[in-house]
Amino acid sequence: MAGHAVEQLDFLGREFLTWLWFRCEVDGGLFPLEQGELGVVLGDYVKLVAPGDEHGEHTVRRESPHRSRAARAALRAGRQVAAVRLEMALGEQSFSATIDADGFAVRSAKLPPVEGADERERSQERMERVEELDDLLDALFARFLSVRLSPAWEAEERPAIEAWIEQGGAAD
């Protein structure tokens, strides 16, 4: 029963990544969070899928794939964002992560460098960096949920996202 409830909420990951793409383009990718101002850009990987047809995927791998005509056309054709590479900066620290929408899973990540004196200290610092990345992604998702669960979603945000998709945004 619990697994079925989770499957019913899988769409939230795709909506989240689409919202994040939209907000990066219209707001410049700056998100004020409790940890500080987080800069976010979409990296060199975007995967879009047709709802109900996981084999009908469209993957764009190149610099700024989210700005490509192919990615924008796939969105206009009704494909949904299934995975994306995010590049994030918080102060002097840079993180990058490939996020799968379904299950909100981090598939791969690049963390800020560690500088511990010995292997144990470096391992501890790496774990702290993983936790920092997790906290940043949680904070971004919480921002999304605060909008998604508000009346503003249907009245303002969803129509703005749909208009952004239809207009096509930037091109190659």
pTM for the whole structure: 0.85
Closest to 140 measured CA to CA, from 72, 56, 58, 39: 39
Confidence of residue 2 (pLDDT cuts 50, 70, 90): very low
Nearest of 122, 124, 34, 50 to residue 82 by alpha carbon: 50
**Which is more confidently placed, 65 or 27?**
27
Mean pLDDT over 22-32 rounds to 93
Q: How many residues does the chain have?
A: 172
Alpha-carbon distance of 130 to 165, in angstroms, equals 33
The mean of the pLDDT values for the chain is 86
